[in-house]
Amino acid sequence: MDSFQNSYPSQLSGGNNSECHCTRLVPWAKVLMLDEPSSALDPDNTKVLANLLSKLTRDGYSIVVSSQDMAFVNLVRDQIYLMEDGCIAESWDRKERCVNWK
């Protein structure tokens, strides 16, 4: 990623842009928000990303993931909130059973 540090997003390919977004962590910010982070990844790299996110949560980061890839979500989740019409429809917690919000 060092070779891209002085580049603007418009100068990078879509893949390079995604990689840079995944690696651009601010040391003092302990919240990471990701929108469909596994959408352009093959299965092996999806597992690599899941392992990285798990390590970050162990290091004290809070991670918010918006995704339709439920297999990926299940790899990295502690809590899941399913949205419907802009409202929380259901939630799951790794430690508790399903809670239905309807």
Q: Select the more confidently predicted residue: 23 or 39.
A: 39
Residues 63/34, Cβ–Cβ less than 8 Å: yes
Give the right CATH number for 28-100 from 3.30.1330.10, 3.40.50.1820, 2.40.30.30, 3.40.50.300: 3.40.50.300
Count CB neighbours of 38 within 10 A: 22
Residues 73/67, Cβ–Cβ less than 8 Å: yes
Q: Return the residue matching tokens 């977004």.
A: 21
> What is the three-class DSSP state of 8?
coil
Q: Kindly list the domain boundaries of the chain, sorted by start residue.
A: 28-100
Tell me the pLDDT tens digit for each residue of 30-55.
888 888 988 888 888 888 889 988 88
pLDDT at 102: 45
Average pLDDT, the chain: 78
Residue 82 binned pLDDT confidence (cut-offs 50, 70, 90) = confident
pLDDT at 2: 63
d(CA 27, CA 89): 34
pLDDT at 11: 78
pLDDT at 84: 86
pLDDT at 101: 44
Q: Is the pLDDT of residue 28 over 60?
A: yes
